[in-house]
Amino acid sequence: MEFYLPKKFTFRGGVHPSHEKSQTEQLETERFPAPSKVVIPLAQSIGAPANALVKKGDRVRIGQLIGEASGNVSAAVHSSVAGTIISVQPFGHPSGKQITAVEIENDGSEEKIDFEPLKKSWREAAPGELVQKIATCGIVGMGGASFPTHVKLSPPSSKPIDTLIINGAECEPFLTTDHRLMIERTEELLTGVLILKKILHAKNVYIGIEDNKPDAITEINKWLVNSNFSDISLAVLKSKYPQGGEKQLITAITGRKVPSGGLPMDVGCVVQNAHTASVIRDAVIKGFPLFQRVITVTGPAVKSPKNLLVRIGTSVRTILEACDTDFSSAKKIIMGGPMMGLALSGLEIPVIKSTSGLLAYDKITSAEKKYPCINCGFCVSACPVGLVPSRIAKYVSKNLIEEAAGWHLMDCVECGSCAYNCPAKNNLVHYMKLGKYTVHAARAASTK
């Protein structure tokens, strides 16, 4: 018996890049050995970086708190190995900046702290207790946004939540971490979903999965027969990018539209990534802080693609070497997916909480000749938010930022669909990011 909603859900706009998932979608997740050294950034979420609680020469254990959240929108940071602190200083970060990080030499003992799960069943715990445990364990959004989860689970009383959506779309090409998790850790995932449901008092719960993952759909359906999970519905989504964007998921599944400048809570919804739900279960039931995660390692220059459970702070070089990457042919390394991921400046960059994958390309696409915009509207038809990217880009290129903002620049989700669809080869996302950066900088300056 099938327990999913019969309609296939989708949204307006979007594009259809090649999936490129066949290399890893059938590969079981492997546990990657702890490296001899980790570099753990204190900034691993949106918001303020954590404050270091350790210094050079200190000894730490696996799971020990090494960075304390420095405000409400901040996330705690924990050690992923047992060993000695080598330094606390700036290191290269996936963002391209130099960010303060804790460098730890692994002593190989694998000594762990005494993990502290809740002293009562999660069903008996108050929502506030569950949120506090999630915050203590440093849980952030694992789909790439890295928003501190405890903040997302604490909407104001004026914005009641009636719908929880679990994002299992994984619409980025190449990436298969959520796909494997939904197959390999189904019960843990669904238990995490129920914990989220309790916290939010949500009446409606959906897991959204794209139709290019039939084995995950089948596995989830097997568990939904269980009376423990009967309050969860499975929404099968049409495969399209960026189906995994939270606003696109909300529209596809509920028909609601998040208002311009608004948040999902404005329409009674909260969206959480599937990986996030599973680590929430581990935090609440096992007391595990977030010190490791699953990533996909693949790409044309990777000879042995894999899905790997890796420690936070492991260097990109260490992981790529273990996957038989041909460094002589590798021309570009991307952290994340090819549409929204970040090209890395070096191989010593560490894996962080929001790292979903590593892609090694054996060629770089040559810069193509840019042609004048002919107002064809292809970018408009592709934009999942309903913007006019070509018009906004023209304003930003002329430094007419107020005009660009008037055309809802700040609603851009930077998915790249517009540039992907542009026949003139205009790098529209560049202008979107530049414009948004300029607006944020102006706002920050005005508050000083």
Q: The tokens of 447 are what?
A: 């508050």
User: Has residue 139 got a pLDDT over 90?
Assistant: yes
Per-residue pLDDT tens digits for 432-448:
999 999 998 888 888 76
Amino acid at 97: K
Q: Could you give the C-alpha distances from 118 to 130, 185, 285, in angstroms and in order?
A: 8, 21, 6
Q: Could you give the C-alpha distances from 67 to 3, 60, 89, in angstroms and in order?
A: 43, 12, 13
Per-residue pLDDT tens digits for 192-234:
999 999 999 999 999 999 999 999 999 999 999 999 999 999 9
Q: Dihedral through CA 25, CA 28, CA 283, CA 210, nearest 10?
A: 20
- Which whole number is the average pLDDT over 289-312? 98
Model pLDDT, residue 390: 95
Q: Name the β-bridge partners of 204.
A: 163
Model pLDDT, residue 369: 61
The verdict on whether omega for the bond into residue 242 sits within 30 degrees of 0, i.e. cis, is yes
Q: Name the β-bridge partners of 206.
A: 165, 233
Is the distance from CB of 16 to CB of 240 less than 8 angstroms? Answer: yes
Using CA atoms, how far apart are residues 364 and 367, in angstroms rounded to an integer?
9
Query: What's phi and psi for 340, nearest 5 deg?
Result: -125, 5
Query: Mapping DSSP to helix (H, G, I), strand (E, B) and coil, where does residue 295 land?
Result: strand
Model pLDDT, residue 339: 93
Select the more confidently predicted residue: 1 or 373: 373
Query: What are the strands of the beta sheet with 342-343, ordered from one edge?
Result: 30-31, 306-311, 292-298, 357-361, 332-335, 342-343
User: Has residue 378 got a pLDDT over 60?
Assistant: yes
User: Has residue 1 got a pLDDT over 50?
Assistant: no
Q: Is 365 exposed, middle or buried (0-12, 13-18, 19+ CB in 10 A)?
A: exposed
Per-residue pLDDT tens digits for 307-343:
999 999 999 999 999 999 999 999 999 999 999 999 9
Give the start-end residues of each E strand in 94-239.
98-106, 163-167, 204-210, 232-237
Residue ranges of domains in the chain: 4-27+119-286, 378-446
Mean pLDDT (the chain) is 94
Q: Name the β-bridge partners of 68.
A: 51
- Which whole number is the average pLDDT over 383-411? 95
Q: How confident is the model at residue 397 (pLDDT cuts 50, 70, 90)?
A: very high
Give the rounded distance of the alpha carbon of 180 from its chain centre: 15
Q: Could you give the C-alpha distances from 166 to 41, 92, 142, 245, 248, in angstroms and in order?
A: 28, 32, 12, 11, 13
Q: E strand or H helix at 190, and its extent?
A: helix 186-200
Query: Mapping DSSP to helix (H, G, I), strand (E, B) and coil, where does residue 267 land?
Result: helix
Q: Could you give the C-alpha distances from 211 to 3, 29, 173, 281, in angstroms and in order?
A: 15, 21, 14, 26
- Residue with the two structure tokens 């950034």: 41
Q: Is 380 exposed, middle or buried (0-12, 13-18, 19+ CB in 10 A)?
A: middle
Using CA atoms, how far apart are residues 362 and 369, in angstroms rounded to an integer?
22
The DSSP call for residue 409 is G
Note if the pTM is more than 0.85: yes
Model pLDDT, residue 371: 81
Q: Could you give the C-alpha distances from 113 to 110, 116, 446, in angstroms and in order?
A: 10, 9, 45
Q: E strand or H helix at 40, and its extent?
A: strand 37-41
- How are the residues of the chain apportioned to helix, strand and coil, as percentages rounded to the nearest 5? 30, 25, 50
Strand pairing category for 269-273 and 30-31: unpaired
User: Has residue 413 got a pLDDT over 90?
Assistant: yes
Model pLDDT, residue 163: 98
Question: Closest Cα partner for 315 from 29, 30, 35, 31?
Answer: 35
4-27+119-286 belongs to CATH 3.40.50.11540: yes
Q: Is 117 exposed, middle or buried (0-12, 13-18, 19+ CB in 10 A)?
A: middle
